[in-house]
A = this chain, B = another copy of it.
């Protein structure tokens, strides 16, 4: 059951790590995140490039450079990250793989699946990076393998 792509997963884990362990000050280098979370450096770089271009992150090159959140963590919703990395069709998938997913021409499992997707969308809409960070730093929930 692969709901999120590796890109979204790595982005969420890495940014949660930043919020939990680095606070909101200065740039964090991708190399450190890669090492700390055991994620491929180059792959993480590509993911962050997308988020930077989307205005969610800011980057800075050179010594002591890296990435940082463009806005405070409590203003950045999980769904923003997912939207960028999964694309606009993410919440428009039919559970039976049929093209489109809507009321107009539903499949036999649409009633259930529409509600399940809406619950997921709502969760992503309501959860911010600040909350994820707090859970990791306060409750010590895990974020790495």
Contacts and interface: CB of A to CB of B under 8 A. Distances in A.
Contacts of A86: 1
A3 B95 CA distance: 7
A98 to B, nearest CB: 6
A63 to B, nearest CB: 31
Nearest to A82: B1
A1 B8 CA distance: 11
Contacts of A106: 141-142
Given A109-B127, A116-B116, A95 B145 contact: no
Contacts of A109: 123, 127, 132
A110 interface: yes
A112 to B, nearest CB: 5
Nearest to A90: B1
Chain B CB count within 10 A is highest, among A99, A107, A112, for A107
